[in-house]
Amino acid sequence: MKRWSILSGVLLLGSSLGAQPDLPIHSRKLANGLDVIVIESHAVPLVTVEIDVKNGAYTETPEYDGLSHLYEHMFFKANRTIPSQEMYLRRMNQLGAIWNGTTSEERVNYYVTVGVDSLVPAMQFMEDAIRYPLFNQDELVRERPVVLGEFDRNEANPYFHLFRGVDTLLWTPGYYSRKNVIGNRDVIITATQEKMNTIKNRYYVPNNSVIILAGDITPARGFQLAEQVFGDWPRGADPFATAIAKPPPLAATRSVIVERPVQGAALYIVWHGPSVTVDPASTFAADVLSTVLANPSSNFHKRLVDSGLTYSVGLSYYTLGYTGPISVFAQLPADKLHEAQRAIMEEVAKLTDENYITPEQLAAAQRQLGIQALYQREQASEYAHTVGFWWAVAGLDYYRTYVPNMQKVTRADIARYARAYIVGKPYVTGLLISPQERERLKITPESLMPAGGAR
């Protein structure tokens, strides 16, 4: 699963894509290690200033579980120049800025979009926020309930419990915090200024960050301003001098049942997939396979959806540097659970046969992915978020060469990927179902296991 969404109807576009044209991005590294990326687009007189940091859940040991997300919230609070959140908000309004931040497994980003005449003060604003946060105790205390409110809203969604139930089995107890973006309630409630400063001093350094300027700006102007505003930010110690270990392999197939008041049922089957920094070739095959199977003409869709076994089903891969998960997610009538599960696993077993996919299906999927890659450049501000994600997770070179590498994928490559990560490999099955339906159908965790039990 990539950071872009699938476009409906793109397969109607019959023209093939040749080599990927040069991306409208320019990059440079400052002496302090800060990467600078400029995306030039003069469509409207706006510029997005974005900072991405290689931080997020994957840097969190259990005692820091969720604090990257809390830090993201504290970024928009008092700093050396703007000593209160009220003044912070007032300054944002003066700039006419649109701003936000996000936290994921392997990156945290912050951005403001302003009119081109407010670019310099917006950059100075971001420099103050990233270098000189105060982490005032009263603001920290006030922000905890805000973050916990996000936790509460997630917990109100039945699917959150399904995904969390599977994740707790997919990753070992000592590693779960490195995949748990939303965090642990107790850790968030007891967060201290000391922990916030530990995160800042370790990860919020120029040699672990990128500034992206996207919109109505030239590369020369962007690099000049980046040097002017951020050039004296002192380089820090390498936060990854001691490398973060990759997740331990999944030892055995396991299952979990989550009971919630839902209609029908949802089946979620997950494997450990490739790490983009270790096996990038498999990530291209993964994307092409997922796109092929999503097409209504695929055998996968015909067997599982057209037959009425499921309402919807898809196989996806989420690209990460530290083991991206491969998952099948299906919504289905509860009465057809076991029949649908058998059919899903039978179709999955066929993925090692390169003839399971036709040459026409392969070409159509590659064309679709290529069009998506072009489409995501349409809006400079959104494009900045995409580029920042790939800078953090896979590196800019991976992103620059994504389309030509994806277009080289063969049916044999897809079969090889399926053998390496899916077919015959341990996995976790999660089932979301109502208590009444579970009781009526006599479903147990054991009944969700493959014949012969865990392996």
Mean pLDDT score, 120-124: 97
3-state secondary structure of 40: strand
Instruction: Give pLDDT, residue 85.
Output: 81
Return d(Cα 80, Cα 131) in angstroms, integer: 9
Instruction: Give pLDDT, residue 20.
Output: 39
Where residue 318 falls (left for φ over 0; alpha for ψ -120 to 50; beta otherwise) is beta
Instruction: Give pLDDT, residue 378.
Output: 87
Contacts of 424 (CB under 8 A, 6+ apart): none
Question: pLDDT per residue over 267-298, tens digit each?
Answer: 999 999 999 999 999 999 999 999 999 999 99
Instruction: Give pLDDT, residue 88.
Output: 85
Give the pLDDT band of residue 13 (cuts 50, 70, 90): very low
Instruction: Give pLDDT, residue 86.
Output: 86
Give the pLDDT band of residue 11 (cuts 50, 70, 90): very low
Percent of the chain with pLDDT over 70: 94
Instruction: Give pLDDT, residue 14.
Output: 31
For residue 328, the surrounding DSSP H or E stretch is strand 325-332
Q: Is the dihedral of CA 8, 9, 11, 16 positive or negative?
A: negative
pLDDT beyond 80 at 1: no
Return d(Cα 150, Cα 114) in angstroms, integer: 27
Does domain 18-230 bear CATH number 3.30.830.10? yes
Task: Quote the mean pLDDT of the chain.
Answer: 93
Q: pTM, whole model, 2 decimals? A: 0.93
Q: Going by DSSP bridges, is the β-strand pair 312-317/325-332 parallel, antiparallel, or unpaired?
A: antiparallel
pLDDT beyond 90 at 403: yes
Percent of the chain with pLDDT over 90: 90
Give the pLDDT band of residue 357 (cuts 50, 70, 90): very high
Contact by Cβ (8 Å): 337, 264: no
Instruction: Indicate the residue type of 348.
Output: V
Where residue 57 falls (left for φ over 0; alpha for ψ -120 to 50; beta otherwise) is alpha
Q: Who wins on pLDDT, 378 or 438?
A: 438
Helix boundaries (H) for 109-179:
119-131, 137-155, 158-170
Out of 77-91, 285-299, 361-375, which region has the weakest mean confidence (pLDDT)?
77-91
pLDDT beyond 50 at 438: yes
Work out the burial of residue 51: count CB atoms within 10 Å of its CB; fewer than 13 is exposed, 13-18 middle, 19 or more buried. buried
Query: What residue spans in the chain does CATH classification 3.30.830.10 cover?
Result: 18-230, 254-448
Instruction: Indicate the residue type of 142.
Output: R
Question: pLDDT per residue over 228-268, tens digit each?
Answer: 999 999 999 999 999 999 999 999 999 999 999 999 999 99
Instruction: Give pLDDT, residue 107.
Output: 98
Mean pLDDT score, 213-242: 98
Instruction: Give pLDDT, residue 4.
Output: 33
Q: What is the CATH number of domain 254-448?
A: 3.30.830.10
| Phi and psi, residue 439, nearest 5° | -65, -45
Mean pLDDT score, 355-367: 98
pLDDT beyond 90 at 455: no
Instruction: Give pLDDT, residue 7.
Output: 28
Mean pLDDT score, 423-436: 98
Question: pLDDT per residue over 175-207, tens digit each?
Answer: 999 999 999 999 999 999 999 999 999 999 999
Q: In 3D, which of 133, 129, 125, 109 has the Cα closest to residue 198?
A: 133
Give the pLDDT band of residue 437 (cuts 50, 70, 90): very high
Question: pLDDT per residue over 132-160, tens digit each?
Answer: 999 999 999 999 999 999 999 999 999 99
Instruction: Give pLDDT, residue 280.
Output: 98
